[in-house]
Structure 1
Amino acid sequence: MEEEEEEEMEEMEEEEEAGEGGGVEKVVVKEEEEKEEEEKEEEEKEEEEKEEEEKEEKEEEEKEEEEKEKVEKEEKEEKEEKEEKEEEQEKEEQEKEEQEKEEKEEEEKEEEEKEEEKEKEEKEEEEKKVEKVRRERGNSYTNMLYRQGNENKERGKEDSKD
């Protein structure tokens, strides 16, 4: 800008030296040209400021959008993590329930087997008792038969003597 002013000053000096007339007119024209130049510079400056402002707004919007996306991503990850934990916990509980069920069934089976074994032993014991009683009765009966047989023999001998 200083260069332009210097150039204009030089031109004015050259024109004055050349002896051109209408010094007031030249000054007015010169002032109008300077005013137009200043307006043009002001418009350019305003345009640059406007562009800079738009650029800053755009950058701010992009930044906000990135932040929004980041937050959404984090929320999504947290949700997925929470769901995974819940599924894992559910799975563990299910496995625990199944294990408890299996253990209970195993206990019931063992209890049943013990009961069956006990019944079997009781039955065998009962059969032994019955067998013993049968033997005793059988022996008693056999003994009775032997006695009767012996008695009959004795009577037979006595009868044959008579």
Structure 2
Amino acid sequence: MEEEMEEEEQEEEEEEMEEEMEEEEQEEEEEEMEEEMEEEEQEEEEEEMEEEMEEEEQEEEEEEMEEEMEEEEQEEEEEEMEEEEMEEEEQEEEEEEMEEEEEDALSPLRRPGSPCPSDGV
């Protein structure tokens, strides 16, 4: 009888130990899974942040390029306007010169050395 009791006790102890070990194993597995999930989550967050930063950078670059293009366009327009003004001034000067030449040709008073009509010559 005593031997049977001892055997039963031993069996119970072994079963308990096995159960404990299984529980521990399960806990460890759950912890590992949790850790893995957390790591994955963190990685995803980091990737998202990186993507956002890259997008922002790209947007900034595009804005800068747009601004540069606009500045260049404006400069070109200003240059064109300056050229047009210069051309207009040149044309005006040429017209004035031509008018002066015409007046000189028509008016004998303005020609040095030419007889004056009031001299009666």
TM-score, normalised with respect to structure 2: 0.90
Percent identity, please. Answer: 51
Residue number among 57, 79, 84 corresponding to 1:81 in the alignment: 57
- Give the unaligned 5+ runs of structure 2: none
Greater fraction helix = 1
> Structure 1 residue 107 and structure 2 residue 83: aligned?
yes
Query: Residues 59-105 of structure 1: CA distance to partner in whole angstroms, max 9, x if unpaired?
Result: 00011001101111111111111111111111101100000000000
> Structure 1 residue 47 and structure 2 residue 14: aligned?
no
Paired residue type of 2:19: E
Aligned to 1:68: 44
Q: Could you tell me how far apart the structure 2 residues matched to 1:128 and 1:58 are?
A: 104
Q: Could you tell me how far apart the structure 2 residues matched to 1:77 and 1:132 are?
A: 83
Tell me how many residue pairs correspond in the alignment.
119
Relative contact order, higher structure (CA 8 A, sep 6+): 2
Query: Residues 106-155 of structure 1: CA distance to partner in whole angstroms, max 9, x if unpaired?
Result: 00000000000100111111111121279879628933xxxxxxxxxxxx
Report SS of the residue matched to 1:77.
helix
Residue number among 108, 112, 117 corresponding to 1:139 in the alignment: 117
Q: Could you tell me how far apart the structure 1 residues matched to 2:110 and 2:98 are?
A: 18
- Deviating above 2 A after TM superposition, structure 1's stretches of 4 or more consecutive aligned residues are 133-143
Aligned to 1:9: none
- Give the unaligned 5+ runs of structure 1: 1-24, 144-162
> Structure 1 residue 94 and structure 2 residue 70: aligned?
yes
Q: Could you tell me how far apart the structure 1 residues matched to 2:64 and 2:51 are?
A: 20
Instruction: Choose 1 or 2 for highest CA Rg.
Output: 1
> Structure 1 residue 29 and structure 2 residue 9: aligned?
no
Alignment RMSD: 2.0
Residue number among 126, 132, 145 corresponding to 2:102 in the alignment: 126
Q: Structure 1 134/95 Cα, relative in aligned 2: closer, same or farther at 3 Å?
A: closer
